[in-house]
Structure 1
Amino acid sequence: MAAKSKLAYVEKIENGGIFREKRGKGFRYICEGVKVTDTVTLNRIHRLVIPPAWKEVWICSMVNGHIQATGIDAMGRKQYIYHTEWVNQRDKRKYHRMIQFAYALPKIRLQIEKDLSRKGLPKEKVLALIISLMERTSIRVGNNTYEKLYGSFGLTTLKDKHTEIKGSDIKFSFKGKKGVYHDINLRNSRLARMVQRCKEIPGKELFQYYDDEGKRQSIDSGMVNDYLKEISGEEFTSKDFRTWAGTVKAFLAFKELGCGGSESEKKRLITEAVDKVATKLGNTRAVCKKYYIHPEIITSYENGALQEYFDQLDAIEEDDNYSDLTKEEKIVLSILENK
């Protein structure tokens, strides 16, 4: 990708480069033991907007390096600042990946349906259950690190206490990423029965499974992603479900809100639509718009091209085959392929 973007791929950031040093209330920059005074270089560094709290800051000496800077944040994590062209190319690849994901969905869903029909509670069945819940609720997959560090939860780290089941109704109540509390309701008798069976397994964790020896085992996010890769034959992860869901939900939100008239009204409606999606995904408006809604959906709304697709959606009869794409998914795929 670096060659395509006419960028220099940076392999070893430890060698050479520019280092930031604390100097009074500000910083100075050192390259090969000499203070950087070149105005052009200093202006480039300032435009990178490197957080003041970062430590061990390294800055690429090449203007076209695909990595422009690195540093250690307050949590001790290594962070990267990439060249804008690298980010643009990466985003294009990510959204092209969404088309591939849409084509793989029927295959994924068909295997999930087969695994949900397995007897007992083997690993494949519980993993299929987690993905089925993820599709319907857009709850994050979760990971053990976030649970330990922040006390936040996702599907794979939920405890029995986070769920309540009454007949066909499932209620999830938990603290998610960034301390946001979620109360999510789902009505599905089949999945409710399966979740109830999972709750009956001894232990605090909601989702566990029984191995071949009848011993209960825990589930983690890595297992979910490995399962997805296995049944799809591609390098898809749980995040692809959320990105696809965000894009489809945005299309439906725009249909509900209407096309609008003036530019200012369209701008207001775009904000309203993004807010609707962000609420369902549990994200901020900015994060939702940047990472979970394909930009072509918003662009098509801005130029009035979505109306044609709204009309097509109304003309399609609903397909009851769950393993296939829904009618709105088929329309969204058509939009992305025709861009």
Structure 2
Amino acid sequence: MAEWIRREGSKNRFRYRRADGRLVTDARTLERIRRLVIPPGWTDVHVAASAGAEIQAWGLDLKQRKQYRYHPRAVERGQLRKYYRVRELAKELPALRARVRTHANARTPSRRTVAAAVVRLISESFFRVGGERYAEENKTFGIATLRKRHVELLKGRAVFTYVGKKSVPQRQVVTNRELARLVKRHLATPGTRLFRYRDGSRWRDLTARDVNEYLHDTLGVAYSAKDFRTWGGTLRAATVLAELGPAASPTEAKRNVATAMRLVASELGNTPAICRSSYVHPIVIARYLDDGETIELSGRYRQAADEYAHSAEERALIRFLDRHFPERRRHARRE
């Protein structure tokens, strides 16, 4: 069983006490705790006694939610697993698109039908999925928790206007007419929620859990809605850098990366910093900054073999990742 150090006192003077009652006084442990940057507002703070523990600290935030601080190696392993998983998702996109479209177009408003409609929107427009607690407590939304008042149909387009995560205003326009018609169908269901399904004689609200369970049932692998956003952010960044081309100097290369991050941020509804750290594969940025290498855009205007096939940009990015991010299949699935 892991041993924990407890935080005592107030933000003016915190103390740390071991499980046996002794105060922590050694400089190395105190410096490790300082580097964790545990918010002073957290309560019931526990710090791992071991410097090598995967979870280095946990506590309760102002809303009494359990929050964690992880060892850097654990964070790195998690990031690697995420990016391997996202690449595997990208390879399965054609088959996924075909199945999801069939499910979403079914006339019976079952849970599968409605979840498939949401996955179509996520996979093509990279919405956040949203959570029930955030919708109720913070009035912030994602695609699964949107109300009908958040969408307007204009000339064959669906315009979504709502407050997203961290209270950031969002405006996303879906120009695909088939998707807009799909949204129109869900506007006709009873109730204020946009996405609802029929369960016997009752109507129920679709949740993020329903969406992620649908993904698991459809693909047989634990992909999440967030993986689509990560793929979308990486694809957009790689495409922008390819369009900008190799930079003439390191300074110009950094400016081009900053431009790409701003464009990704505008599409995902995040800050450029968050997009760079969480939604764009680091190898895309690293290769561009190192030697100007990015994806090949030849053939991008050629007609795809079928409507579900990878786009030229998607094919180029998958080749790029396969070349610079060698296959390690054990990372492709959540552990």
Same fold? TM cut 0.5: yes
Rounded Cα–Cα distance in structure 2 between residues aligned with 1:22 and 1:313: 62
| 8 A Cα contact 2:44 2:59, kept in partner | yes
User: Residue deviations 1:46-79, cap 9 Å, x none?
Assistant: 1222211111111111121111111111121111
Contact 1:275 1:285 in 2 (8 A): yes
How far residue 165 of structure 1 moved from its aligned partner, in angstroms, is 1.0
Aligned pairs for 1:231-270 within 5 A: 231-270=218-257
Q: What is residue 206 of structure 1 aligned with on the other side? A: 194
Query: Which runs of no fewer than 5 residues in structure 2 stay unpaired?
Result: 325-335
- Note closer, same or farther for the CA distance 1:319–1:63 as it changes in structure 2 (3 Å cut): same
1:297-330 Cα shifts (integer Å, max 9, x gaps): 10111123535x33x5346733152322211111
- Between the aligned partners of 1:172 and 1:116, the Cα distance in structure 2 is 19
Aligned counterparts, 1:257-336, within 5 A: 257-307=244-294, 309-310=295-296, 312-314=297-299, 317-319=302-304, 321-336=306-321
Q: In the TM superposition, what are the counterparts of 1:64-213 in structure 2 within 5 Å?
A: 64-211=52-199, 213=200
The separation in 2 between residues aligned to 1:168 and 1:24, in whole angstroms, is: 55
Q: Distance in 1 between matches of 2:176 and 2:16?
A: 59
Partner of 2:28: 40
What one-letter code is carried by the residue in structure 2 that aligns with 1:36? V
Q: 216-225 or 250-259, which moves further after superposition?
A: 250-259
Which contiguous aligned blocks of 4+ residues in structure 1 show a shift greater than 4 angstroms? none
Shift of 1:259: 2.1
Report if the CA contact (8 A) 1:108-1:228 is conserved: no
Summarize deviations over 1:254-301 as a string: whole Å, max 9, x none: 123332211111111111111110111011122111111000110111
Using the TM superposition, give the Cα deviation of residue 23 of structure 1 relative to its aligned residue in structure 2, in angstroms: 5.7
- Distance in 2 (alpha carbons) for counterparts of 1:72 and 1:122: 38
Tell me the residue number matched to 1:3.
Answer: none
Give the whole-Å Cα distance in 2 for the aligned partners of 1:71 and 1:306. Answer: 43
1:69-120: per-residue Cα shift (whole Å, max 9, x none)?
1111112111111111111122111111122111222221111121133224
| Count of residue correspondences | 323
Distance 2:146 2:135 in 1: 9
Alpha-carbon shift at residue 123 of structure 1 (Å): 2.6
Which residue is equivalent to 1:54?
42
Verify the 8 A CA contact 2:146 2:193 in the aligned structure 1: yes
Structure 1 gaps of 5+ residues are 1-11
> In structure 1, what is the Cα distance between the partners aligned to 2:59 and 2:305?
51
Where 1:239 maps in the other structure, the secondary structure is helix
Secondary structure of 1:182's match?
strand
| Higher RCO structure (Cα 8 Å, ≥6 apart) | 2
Residue identity in the other structure for 1:329: E
SS, match of residue 51 in structure 1: coil
Q: What amino acid is aligned across from residue 255 of structure 1 in structure 2?
A: A
Secondary structure of 2:291's match?
Answer: coil
Q: Aligned partners of 2:26 and 2:215: how far apart in 1?
A: 50
TM-score by length of 2: 0.91
With structure 1 as the length reference, what TM-score do the two structures score? Answer: 0.90
Once residues 95 and 306 of structure 2 are traced to their aligned partners in structure 1, the CA distance between those partners, rounded to angstroms, is: 12
